[in-house]
Amino acid sequence: MSNVFYMPPVTLMGPNAIQSLGAELASKELKKALIVTDGVLIEVGLVSKLTDELTAHNLDYVIYDGVQPNPTEKNIEDGLALLAESKADFVISFGGGSSHDTAKGIALVAANGGHIRDYSKGVHLSKKPQLPLVTVNTTAGTASEMTVFAIITNQQDQTKYPVVDKHFTPIIAVNDSELMVAMPKFLTATTGMDALTHAVEAYVSTAATPITDASAIKAIELIVNNLEAVVNNGQDRAARDAMQYGEYLAGMAFSNASLGYVHSMAHQLGGVYDLSHGLCNAILLAEVSRFNAKQVPERFVDIAKAMGIDTTAMTQEQAVNAALEAIDGLSAAVGTKQRLADLGVTEDKLAFMAQNALNDACSLTNPRKASLEEIVNIFKARM
């Protein structure tokens, strides 16, 4: 079986990378951008770094700032309406995963028609490339700035669903670590644990390849070595820079190898309880990994080594347990090891969420197949 590897043709990375964006755009004959972001990023002045760059290169823009933390179908519909009204010819997302996922939905539907939900019934369903998309990233977590994934919330039935489409790949991605310096401590922690989850799930995925393996292992190293430091000191430029490389590598891995039950289950927690995606991943990662390690223990030995654990004198079982303990230990150190019950999750919703998790596209590449009862029990273990 042949494999396909997707990633943006151009990525601008490192401190002040956004200052190179205008010149890149000027060569593409684009005229007016729909900027997709949220009100907070406007209030704190970060969006002005983008708009100043556009203005300096004579590019017009209009701003849609209605993005929600768990982006909804309505966010996409509202953005589409402003896109049509403004006659913008390309889309720029500015922010974290919520902004990027909303922008992806807008750009894809604008070019292909229909409803974003139409593209969730399989993978790579769109017929035409989306409207040109540029992604400017301000968090080191989701890697949505470069992946073929978008996660959308259907508020009517309390579900979150992934859309996987090769046309989501942006023409330019920007990872400027200076835009991440102002990230609050808890957001730094949850997005960082999200990135670690991407790397771990991609490494144990049934669709993993040598390219995704290399990306995932290096991502784990970078994240484990830098996340706690940057949570404790958000001004640590070296750690910020290392984290943006770590999250990007994790994105390279999971965008092509896909994910597993951590994400399938986290999507349901987000849909029903509107909880932070990164926090849900952090809570579930060690427990799902415990379940998966029975199927692919050798993969978790590799993960232990990537986390800096000396496994030389350990049995395979000891090395696996050390990796699981290290994952939980990092989550505790950065403040994301929490109980679902404390976040408002109730047991009467577990079977509903477990069934939807099994139907989630991310479940297809989990290395060990679970029953409904086993998914419920994983939820219960973190209650």
DSSP 236-298: -HHHHHHHHHHHHHHHHHHHHH---HHHHHHHHHHHHH---HHHHHHHHHHHHHHHHHTT-HH
Q: Cα(275)–Cα(154) distance, rounded to whole angstroms?
A: 14
Structure tokens at 303: 């993960």
Q: What order do you get walking across the sheet with 133-137 strand by strand? A: 11-13, 172-175, 133-137, 90-95, 32-36, 60-64
Q: Which of 304, 194, 312, 313 is nearest to 243 (CA)?
A: 194
Q: Cα(307)–Cα(51) distance, rounded to whole angstroms?
A: 39
Decide if pLDDT at 93 tops 90: yes
Q: Which of 6, 9, 16, 71 is nearest to 241 (CA)?
A: 16
Mean pLDDT confidence for 133-158: 92
Q: Which of 7, 1, 77, 2 is nearest to 253 (CA)?
A: 7
Mean pLDDT confidence for 128-150: 95
| pTM of the predicted structure, to 2 decimals | 0.94
Decide if pLDDT at 22 tops 50: yes
Query: What pLDDT band is residue 158 in, cutting at 50, 70 and 90?
Result: confident
3 state SS of 376: helix
Q: Which of 200, 206, 155 is nearest to 366 (CA)?
A: 206
Which pLDDT score, from 0 to 100, does residue 1 have? Answer: 44
Q: Cα(18)–Cα(36) distance, rounded to whole angstroms?
A: 16
Which pLDDT score, from 0 to 100, does residue 2 have? Answer: 56
Burial class (CB in 10 A: 0-12, 13-18, 19+), 369: exposed
Structure tokens at 381: 């273990």
Q: Cα(92)–Cα(104) distance, rounded to whole angstroms?
A: 9
Which pLDDT score, from 0 to 100, does residue 344 have? Answer: 96
Which pLDDT score, from 0 to 100, does residue 128 have? Answer: 95
pLDDT by residue (tens digit) across 30-77? 999 999 999 999 999 999 999 999 999 999 999 999 999 889 999 999
Q: Name, in order, each residue with C-beta under 8 angstroms of 238's C-beta and a sequence gap of 6 or more.
A: none
**Average confidence score pLDDT of the chain:** 95
